[in-house]
Structure formats: C-alpha cells, structure tokens
Amino acid sequence: MAGGSAPTACEKIGSPKPQLTRTQGTQGVILYTVFLAGGIASGKSSVARELERRGAWRIDLDQVSRAVLEPGSDCLPEIADAFGDDLLDPQTGELDRGLLAGRAFADPASCALLEKIEMPHIKRMLVRTLEGEGCCLTAPAVCVVEVPLLDRVEDMLDLADEVVCVTCPVEVRRVRAIGRGMDGADFDRRVANQPTEEYLRAHADTVLDNSGAPERLATALDAWWAERESSGWGAARG
C-alpha cells in the first residue's frame, strides 16, 4: 500500500494464486476456491453467508472435521489405537467425543498427536468435496471454505486459489462478543488459542477490514466480488 493513502476495508496483500486443475470436478468445471479465515467475532461467518447468498458453494471446515469422526471413518481406528479402544462403542462404532477430548486435550503432546492423526483425513475429505459433482455444478464456480483456525491448516493452503482474512482489532471483537452474550473471560480464552491478526495478515492474499461500520465491509466485499467476477474467477488468468 502506498504511504499516506487512506485505509480501505479491502486490502490486497498479493496476487491470487494461479488456478489449479486439482479442483476440476466430475463435470470438467474448474472451481475457484477461497479459504476464508478470521478470529472470533471478526465477521468471518457473516462474510461466508453473504458469499453463499451470492451463489458461492460454502464449506465449513468444522463440519468436515466432525465428519471424519463419524462411524465407519478411516480415521477412527487410528484414534482408537492412539487413545484407547474404549473410545468406540462396540455396537455402533460411535466415538465418545467427550472421553476423547478428556484424553487428547490433557497435555500439549496428546493434542498434537490428535491433530497429526486427524489432519490428513480432513484434507482428503475436503479434496473429495471440492472435486465432487455437486460442488462443481455451482454457478458461479466458486467455493468458500470457512476456516476456523488458519494456523492449523497451513499444509492445506495449496488447495486454495486465494486466502481471504477478515480482521478486526481484538478489543472491538471483545465488545461485539460480549454484546452477543458471550462471557468476557470465555472470549479471552478462545482468542488466546486463535491465530493473531499479524499471522492472518501474513498468510492472506486479501484482507477485509471489519473494524468499521457494516456498510464499509459490504462495500469492500462488493468490490472484491466484482473484480473476480469480471475476470471470470480466474478463467482468463495467465
């Protein structure tokens, strides 16, 4: 950004990544994939809903994470081997998520082990979803992957054509969260376990600043969408 220029709600950090054929689906349609990240009460989910309203396919990575722990998943035997066979119901194959949480989050090493087991399965399921028929039949051919913790998915960033981060000062987010009924101490605990604003900016192609009025963010999002739509969502990119 040029020195002394007025700040805008949409800041382009770098050029979007070249379109990759890995997201070519069963219909031969190339999908423009956006990873959307942001801290709690930043407005990330509001942006995701607005993009979905405009026609983008929306994937919540939290839901993908839960899906890999469903009965029959290839991930469950690995988790049982690492944390105990008693985690799985012998009749239904259901995972006792509370018992797993008690063991996996007991110490940093166990938490890291769970993440090491889960992440390859999450990535494979996300790839299958992006390459699936339903996802690639959307018009426009755009997919928004809502990412709760960007620092946990660095090895998945190769799946994204663009990383968009919604940022807002933590003190503003705290006021918003408390206004929605969240306990202040709970907010502080969650923020302590989330990527910093500096981290998000360092890994973003585009930053949407949501520290001002909602109309300012909406204007920035309009401009972001119009620019990419006019280029055919990367179809003409060299």
- What are the extents of the domains in the chain? 10-230
**185: pLDDT strictly greater than 80:** yes
* Cis previous bond, 77, omega within 30: no
Q: What gap in Å lies between CA 29 and CA 5, rounded to an integer?
A: 39
Q: Mean pLDDT, to the nearest integer, of 16-32?
A: 49
Q: What is the mean pLDDT of the chain?
A: 83
Q: CB-hemisphere CA count at 13 Å for 83?
A: 30
**48: pLDDT strictly greater than 70:** yes
Tokens 């799985």 — which residue?
88
The per-residue pLDDT for range 136-168, each reduced to its tens digit, is 555 678 899 999 889 988 888 988 999 999 999
Left if phi > 0, otherwise alpha if psi is -120 to 50, otherwise beta: which for 93?
left
Q: What gap in Å lies between CA 82 and CA 113, rounded to an integer?
A: 8
pTM > 0.85:
no
**63: pLDDT strictly greater than 50:** yes
Left if phi > 0, otherwise alpha if psi is -120 to 50, otherwise beta: which for 232?
left
- CATH domain 10-230 topology: Rossmann fold (3.40.50)
